[in-house]
């Protein structure tokens, strides 16, 4: 009788979708598996902002404990949530092919019916450089609304990500930012019931479970979190059988790109509670890398980019980029973040 591989996952709709996807992919290789649902600390407290919880590992440590106590054989994570230093006794088994890595702004579903005056200027500002904006009913109504007299109201956007907050405030310093926690369904519900103009989500999360609203805009100017859009599978270090089974799902290109991004994050100071962004892409056999670090208030930014590196010459590019940033304004920003933004 074949051993059934136990797949540990958080119990949110997105997490279950990701684990089910892994289960189905394993089945294509004749590997029988089952899901084991586990609630994480990050799913229990949906009020406290992530930056106050101490977000490093908040969505992964419960699954780590289940792995180490042999209650599950592998765990499936959104890779951007995984600390760059895995828990002792746990190893990366596979990284699946990356989905959409971008952040998106989901506008309030009734925004065109509200008495607002941010209209056309706001839409144009957030979509500079975007290839995804389409002229449709809601953008037309917003354009018409700006012709009406009245003082523009302050833009109010919701997110709990310090990275998104910093990049947004760097571009729109006068915005109001509201805390938004919960799984994607909860956050969409909170947005609908709010007076906010919109909320920022990871595109991949909404697209995977077919919840991306029509009135969403890809923020092409916003660099993603390291490893955003990728799924990681981990197992115990001594579990050769589980490693051999799951490595069949590994996508080498995604594994290389996410390694560079996480190397950058780790070298800078890194956890996902810091405004650090990185994106590596491989096109025609060459690596391009963009990255930045911002102060918590978004007023200071250090950034750089590298391009055209052959893969074999780019394996240390994340560390190289981090050291360059540290020597060119990043060290001062990182020190300020460690001191609580002061």
Q: How far apart are CA 112 and CA 98, in angstroms?
A: 34
- On whether both 269 and 306 belong to a single domain, the answer is yes
CATH number, position 317: 3.30.160.40
Q: Assign 195 to helix, strand or coil.
A: coil
In a domain, 223, yes or no: no
Q: How many domains does the chain have?
A: 3
Indicate the helix (H) or strand (E) that contains 21: helix 13-27
Locate the DSSP E strands across 134-187.
156-158, 176-178
In a domain, 122, yes or no: yes
Count of positions (residues) in the chain: 342
Q: How far apart are CA 247 and CA 31, in angstroms?
A: 12
CA distances from 223 to 15, 37, 206, 277, 332 (A): 23, 32, 18, 6, 21
CATH number, position 59: 3.40.190.10
- On whether both 79 and 65 belong to a single domain, the answer is yes
Q: Each residue's pLDDT tens digit in the chain (342 positions)?
A: 678 999 999 999 999 999 999 999 999 999 999 999 998 654 444 444 334 334 456 679 999 999 999 999 999 999 999 999 999 999 999 999 999 999 999 998 887 665 554 454 566 666 655 544 444 444 444 444 444 444 556 788 999 999 999 999 998 898 899 999 888 999 999 999 998 989 999 999 999 999 999 889 999 999 999 999 999 999 999 999 999 999 999 999 999 999 999 999 999 975 546 899 999 999 999 999 999 999 999 999 999 999 999 999 999 999 999 999 999 999 999 988 888 765
**Catalytic residue positions, numbered:** 81
Where does 58-158 have alpha helices with state H? 61-68, 119-126, 137-145
Nearest to 221 by CA among 317, 132, 120: 132
Nearest to 53 by CA among 41, 65, 61: 41
pTM of the model: 0.86
Name the residue range of residue 324's domain. Answer: 251-342
């Amino acid at each position: 009788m074949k051993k059934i591989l136990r797949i540990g996952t958080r119990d949110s709709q997105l997490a279950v979708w990701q684990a089910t996807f892994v289960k189905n992919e394993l089945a294509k290789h004749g590997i029988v598996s089952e899901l084991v649902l586990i609630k994480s600390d990050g799913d229990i407290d949906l009020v406290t902002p992530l930056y106050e919880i101490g977000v490093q590992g908040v969505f992964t440590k419960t699954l780590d404990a289940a792995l180490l106590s042999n209650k599950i054989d592998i765990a499936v994570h959104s890779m951007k949530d995984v600390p760059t230093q895995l828990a002792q006794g746990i190893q990366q088994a596979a990284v699946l092919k990356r989905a959409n890595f971008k952040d998106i702004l989901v506008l309030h579903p009734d925004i065109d019916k509200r008495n607002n005056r941010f209209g056309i200027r706001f839409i144009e500002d957030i979509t500079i450089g975007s290839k995804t904006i389409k002229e449709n009913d809601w953008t037309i109504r917003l354009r018409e609304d700006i012709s009406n007299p009245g003082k523009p109201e302050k833009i109010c956007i919701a997110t709990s990500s310090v990275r998104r907050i910093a990049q947004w405030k760097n571009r729109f310093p006068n915005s109001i930012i509201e805390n938004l926690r919960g799984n994607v369904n909860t956050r969409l519900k909170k947005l609908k019931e709010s007076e906010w103009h919109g909320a920022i989500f990871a595109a991949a999360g909404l697209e995977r479970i077919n919840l991306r609203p029509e009135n969403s805009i890809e923020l092409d100017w916003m660099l993603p979190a390291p490893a955003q859009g990728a799924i990681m599978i981990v197992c115990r270090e001594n579990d050769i059988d589980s490693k051999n089974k799951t490595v069949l799902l590994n996508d080498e290109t995604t594994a290389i790109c996410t390694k560079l991004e996480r190397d950058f994050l780790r070298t800078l100071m890194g956890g996902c509670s810091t405004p650090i962004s990185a994106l590596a892409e491989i096109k025609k056999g060459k690596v391009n890398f963009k990255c930045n670090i911002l102060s918590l208030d978004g007023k200071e930014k250090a950034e750089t980019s590298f391009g055209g590196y052959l893969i074999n010459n780019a394996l240390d590019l994340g560390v190289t980029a981090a050291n360059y940033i540290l020597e060119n304004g990043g060290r001062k920003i990182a020190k300020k973040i460690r001191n609580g933004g002061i």
